[in-house]
């Protein structure tokens, strides 16, 4: 019984001690013209055009001097239903050398741009609007720091091998619910435990019922022992 308790405590600790880092969130509105330094990964959100007309541009850099990659975590642009091509609003993603990675003149289609875009060491993300209405787009761009493998083909200690495009990410970005590797490998293989509310609830319930079980078992054993001792004394 004692060894089972120790084993369970060890397993609980293993899952709870796994450091998971969730992306910091930055809103486009309020960060126009600013530079954002990505530490691990970051979510850039566009939810409103209420800052006014024109272009809102964010410059993206890596805190650790790594390369950056970007992909769309979610995407909804309402204007594309009634204005085409890109008259009332559009987004642009790229680098200083190529700001049009999503297509010339910007992107305003109703469906999400797929894939991961290599932003190297300076990403540029722009939202442009010329509408007087609040078109309320809902866009989340995930930006992640990626590292090359070393000359012998390994990721540095503490980093996770994406097994695609020779890239490594920080180990803390695995199992955080966001695909930092272009192939999503960081969210499937090797994810022993995911920190969802359900998982934490399940773990807590499991530990609780285990201790209830232990208490009941102890009481039963204690009473049986007393009964046996009483029986022996009676004889």
Q: How far is the CB of 150 from ligand NAG (least distance, A)?
A: 4
The answer to whether residues 123 and 37 touch, using CB atoms and an 8 Å cutoff, is no
| 150 DSSP assignment | -
Q: How far is the CB of 22 from ligand NAG (least distance, A)?
A: 26
Nearest to 174 by CA among 189, 187, 162, 156: 187
Pick from 2, 81, 97, 152 the residue near ligand NAG by CB under 6 A. 152
- From the number of C-beta atoms within 10 Å of its C-beta (0-12, 13-18, 19+), residue 142 rates as buried
Give dist(CA 31, CA 51) in Å, integer.
Answer: 10
Cα angle at 147 between 154 and 162, to 5 degrees?
65
Residue the block writes with tokens 């435990």: 193
Q: How far is the CB of 18 from ligand NAG (least distance, A)?
A: 20
Q: Smaller CB distance to ligand NAG: residue 103 or 161?
A: 161
Q: How far is the CB of 163 from ligand NAG (least distance, A)?
A: 15
Q: Smaller CB distance to ligand NAG: residue 147 or 178?
A: 147
CB atoms under 10 Å from CB of 218, counted, come to: 11
Pick from 151, 189, 232, 233 the residue near ligand NAG by CB under 6 A. 151
Nearest to 25 by CA among 6, 15, 40: 40
Q: With contacts defined by CB under 6 A, how many residues of the chain interact with ligand NAG?
A: 6
Q: Smaller CB distance to ligand NAG: residue 163 or 200?
A: 163
Q: How far is the CB of 86 from ligand NAG (least distance, A)?
A: 46
Give dist(CA 176, CA 85) in Å, integer.
Answer: 36
The residue range among 106-114, 129-137, 151-159, 178-186 that interacts with ligand NAG, by the rule CB under 6 A, is 151-159
Q: How far is the CB of 152 from ligand NAG (least distance, A)?
A: 4
- From the number of C-beta atoms within 10 Å of its C-beta (0-12, 13-18, 19+), residue 203 rates as middle
Pick from 37, 53, 133, 154 the residue near ligand NAG by CB under 6 A. 154
Pick from 150, 164, 196, 218 the residue near ligand NAG by CB under 6 A. 150
Q: For the chain, first and last CA: distance in Å?
A: 32
Please tell me whether residue 158 binds ligand NAG under the rule CB under 6 A: no
> Applying CB under 6 A, which residues contact ligand NAG?
150-152, 154, 156-157
């Amino acid at each position: 019984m004692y060894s089972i308790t120790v084993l369970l405590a060890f397993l609980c600790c293993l899952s709870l001690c796994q450091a998971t880092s969730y992306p910091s969130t930055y809103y486009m509105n309020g960060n126009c013209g600013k530079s954002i330094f990505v530490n691990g990964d970051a979510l850039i959100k566009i939810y409103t055009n209420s800052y006014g007309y024109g272009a809102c541009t964010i410059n993206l850099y890596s805190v650790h001097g790594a390369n950056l990659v970007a992909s769309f975590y979610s995407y909804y642009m309402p204007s594309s239903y009634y204005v085409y091509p890109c008259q009332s609003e559009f987004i642009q993603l790229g680098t200083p050398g190529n700001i049009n990675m999503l297509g010339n003149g910007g992107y305003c289609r109703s469906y999400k741009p797929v894939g991961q875009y290599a932003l190297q060491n300076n990403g540029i993300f722009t939202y442009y609007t010329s509408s007087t209405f609040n078109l309320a787009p809902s866009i989340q761009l995930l930006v992640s720091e990626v590292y090359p493998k070393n000359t012998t083909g390994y990721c540095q200690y503490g980093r996770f091998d994406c097994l695609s495009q020779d890239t490594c990410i920080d180990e803390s970005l695995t199992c955080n619910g966001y695909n930092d590797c272009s192939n999503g490998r960081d969210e499937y293989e090797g994810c022993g435990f995911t920190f969802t509310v359900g998982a934490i609830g399940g773990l807590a319930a499991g530990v609780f019922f285990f201790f209830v079980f232990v208490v009941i078992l102890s009481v039963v054993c204690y009473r049986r022992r007393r009964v046996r001792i009483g029986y022996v004394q009676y004889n």
